[in-house]
Structure 1
Amino acid sequence: MNPSAKRLRIAALLLGSVVCLGSVGFMWIEGYSLLEAIYMTVITVSTVGFGEVRSLSDGGMLFTAILIVSSIGTFTFAATAVTQFFIEGDYRERLRAKRIQRIMNEMNNHVIICGHGRVGEKAVQELQDHAHEVVIIESNEELVKKLRDAGVRALAGDATEDENLVNAGLDRARALITTLPDDAQNLYVVLAAKERRPDLLTISRASNANAVSKLKVAGAQNVIMPDQVGGAHMASLVAIPDVVEFLDHIRIQGADAVNLEEIEVQQLPDRLQSMTLAEIDARNRIGVNVIGLRKASGEMVINPPLDTTLQASMKLFVLGTADQIRRLNDFIGIQSPSL
């Protein structure tokens, strides 16, 4: 809960306590009815200056004086809390959060990112480059506000709470990536997601090697250790620097000049789905190169021969420039991502 909302809640609690105590006091000392006691307490605390219900006894006047003095601070605090709640933008932020929640309730086939640290930020960037809709769950409310200002759909809350996963559209999501820095939290997120959606593609970050097997047992299809990946990458820059530089230049549908994309054969026009690679002649027609394919069995074929006959269950991996990839998408008839 943000500070302004917390102050507002405290102010409401204090005001309620003052009204209750004041009403009880007037009923006991002056014999007022409940309605008369509440009315008398409110006009006394707010100092509006309306007349008493009836003349006060000496005890009633003393009680009223004590009530006024003791409630001045409470009333001032409440007025300040209400003013800050509206002026500091908390009220507008709550309205915006509700509007974003309505949008998220209508989203389908999106990717949920748990945590927006360095790893989560990079994952979001790559997915957006790949034209995927993303919903972020982040516990840092200030960061969530900045993300919303940038037009990113973000949910403020703890990703380990089932309610937040559901509010992020877990039932309709395409995949979930948890990038939290704590392995125990990532494990809980994976377990919660898999309990509700056993079929969901789930990818988790791991900081400790001992957590990798646990996360996979919990249901994560892929577990990534950023430190291990980074160390291997740096070693490769020494061992095979030119190869690594070339691979770094190839982005997955990013903003670079060279891009790699996967195409399902069933996405191709019907007349092409039973042809061989030579008959499709993608290199001369569009300019892209088919550098690999994946069969239905999961077998990967690198640099497949031209006499390979396509099957609807296959996936092709094609390499080309941003413009060539865009022309390929136009040729297939699918929406081109922002290259």
Structure 2
Amino acid sequence: MHWQFKRILILVSSLVLLLLTGTIGYMLLEGIPVLDAFYMTVITLSTVGYKEVVELSNASKLFTILMIFGGISFVAYTLTYVAAFVFGGEFTEIMRRRSMEHDIDNLRDHYILCGAGYTGMSVIKRFQKSKVSYIAIEKSEERVNALLEEGIMALHGDATQEEVLEKAGIHHSKGLVSCLSTDADNVFTVLTARGMKPDLHIVSRAINPNAHKKLFHAGANNTLSPNELGGDRMATMLLRPAVMSFLEITTHMGDIIFDIEEVEIPDGCMFAWQTLRESGFRRKTGLNVLATKKHTEDFVRPNPDPSFLVEPGDKLLVLGQLEQIDNIKKLIKQPRSY
């Protein structure tokens, strides 16, 4: 339970105890019924000044004085604290976090991002573009709050710790990206994640050139150095500008945005057990198949022939508009009609 909820519970319980004490006190001192005694307690603590139900004895007057000095300040503080908690945004924030925790528990086949720095934010943009489920783990509470404000599912914690990865639903996840600020943290995160879920697909950021080997040994499927990649791209822009211009045209043409996507063909799909020509893949989807990868092979075949036989488990690397890519994801789920 959140500590503020506990504090409110204590305050409310104390208020109930105060009302009970006043009620019992008036009953014993004046011999009046429970309702009258409770009424006397309420008008005393609220200072409304209504007439007493009986003429008070000296003992009752002293008891009333104690109730006033001891109770009014407490009641005022309790009501003020509860009002500030409910209307000051803290209650809304707690409820939002509880809702998020419920959403995390229901995550399935999602991706886990460890580290929401500059590189991590680029990963998030890609996740959003691909419309996949994901959750970010970040050490900085300030960044976590910023992500939550943007409607991004985020968890405050250390991604190198098993309990944090467990909380992020690693056993139900599809993949993990480690974008932490040091190679040591990335290695430890990869090692921990691999031990928790052996079949998890893990991609990690590498900062130093010699970190790739360590990350592979720790269990990463792929590693990437943003510095190396950025430097290579800048050099290509300078040395082979025509190549970069072609790549830009390939992915952006006016207001139309193209994307490259990997599509795995499931069993029973309308495109399974047919060649690319027989299934009419290009005609039905509008997508260009750039490369293929057989489920029995470890390498990619670029520029496949129309006679390529598509089998369940094969992967197609396709190029097309975002709407076409969204459509193919729906089409592959439709069973083949005979």
* 1:137–1:157 CA contact under 8 A, matched in 2: yes
Match of 1:289 in 2: 288
Deviation at 1:318, TM superposition (A): 1.9
2:96 partner SS: helix
User: Which residue matches 1:117?
Assistant: 117
User: Aligned residue for 1:300?
Assistant: 300
The 8 Å contact of residues 267 and 313 in structure 2, kept in 1 or not, is answered as no
Does 2:223 align with 1:223?
A: yes
State the 1:256 CA deviation: 5.2
Amino acid at match of 1:146: A
Distance 2:88 2:183 in 1: 36
Deviation at 1:110, TM superposition (A): 0.6
CA distance in 1, matches of 2:206, 2:302: 30
Quote the RMSD (CA, aligned, Å).
Answer: 3.8
Aligned pair 1:234/2:234, yes or no? Answer: yes
Counterpart of 1:293, as a letter, is T
Q: Per-residue deviation at 1:288?
A: 2.1
Deviation, structure 1 residue 132 = 0.9
Q: Distance in 2 between matches of 1:275 and 1:183?
A: 45
| Pair 1:324–1:200, CA change in 2 (3 A) | closer
Partner in structure 1 of residue 140 of structure 2? 140
Write the distance in 1 (CA, Å) between the matches of 2:286 and 2:195.
45
Counterparts of 1:169 and 1:327 in 2: how far apart (Å)? 28
The structural deviation recorded for 1:99 is: 2.1
What displacement does 1:141 show? 1.4
Tell me the alpha carbon deviations over residues 242-273 of structure 1, each in whole angstroms, 9 at most, x when there is no partner.
32233345559xx9522222222336734x42
Cα deviation for residue 105 of structure 1 reads 0.9
Cross-structure match for 1:108: 108
Deviation at 1:94, TM superposition (A): 3.0
Distance 1:250 1:200, change over 3 A: farther
> Which deviates more, 275-284 or 293-302?
275-284
> Residue 210 in 1 paired to residue 217 in 2?
no
Q: Structure 1 residues 212, 239: closer, same or farther in 2, change over 3 A? A: same
| The 10-residue stretch of structure 1 (107-116 or 273-282) with the greater mean CA deviation from structure 2 | 273-282
Indicate whether 1:276 and 2:272 are aligned. no
The alignment-based identity, stated in percent, is: 32
Report the CA distance between 1:333 and its aligned residue.
4.3
1:337 alignment counterpart: none
Paired with 1:196 and 1:329, the residues of 2 have a C-alpha distance of 29
In structure 1, runs of 5+ residues without a counterpart are 9-49, 53-77, 335-339
Q: Which string of whole-angstrom CA distances, capped at 9 and with x for unpartnered residues, describes residues 54-91 of structure 1?
A: xxxxxxxxxxxxxxxxxxxxxxxx99999987776445
Report if the CA contact (8 A) 2:191-2:219 is conserved: yes
Change (3 A) 1:328 1:215: closer
Q: Given the two structures, how large is their TM-score scaled by the length of structure 2?
A: 0.69
1:13-28 paired onto structure 2 within 5 Å: none
1:139-160 deviation line (CA, Å, top 9, x unaligned): 2212212211221111112222
Q: Which has the higher contact order (CA 8 A, sep 6+)?
A: 1
2:98 is paired with a residue whose SS is helix
Partner in structure 2 of residue 32 of structure 1: none
Distance 1:194 1:283, change over 3 A: closer
For the structure 1 residues 290 and 164, does the alpha-carbon distance in structure 2 shift closer, same or farther, using more than 3 Å as the test?
same
The residue that corresponds to 2:155 in the other structure is 155
Q: Distance in 2 between matches of 1:124 and 1:251?
A: 19
* C-alpha spacing 1:180/1:87, structure 2 compared with 1 (3 Å): farther
Asked if 1 retains the 8 angstrom alpha-carbon contact of 2:259 and 2:322, the reply is: yes
Q: Greater shift after overlay, 79-88 or 291-300?
A: 79-88
Q: What is the aligned partner in structure 1 of residue 182 from structure 2?
A: 182
SS at match of 2:301: strand
User: Separation in 2 of the partners of 1:256 and 1:139?
Assistant: 38
| Deviating more after overlay: 153-162 vs 217-226 | 153-162
Equivalent pairs, count: 276
- How far apart in 2 are the matches of 1:289 and 1:308? 14
Structure 1 residues 86 and 163: alpha-carbon distance in aligned structure 2, compared to 1, 3 A threshold: farther
Structure 1 residue 311, shift from structure 2 partner: 2.0
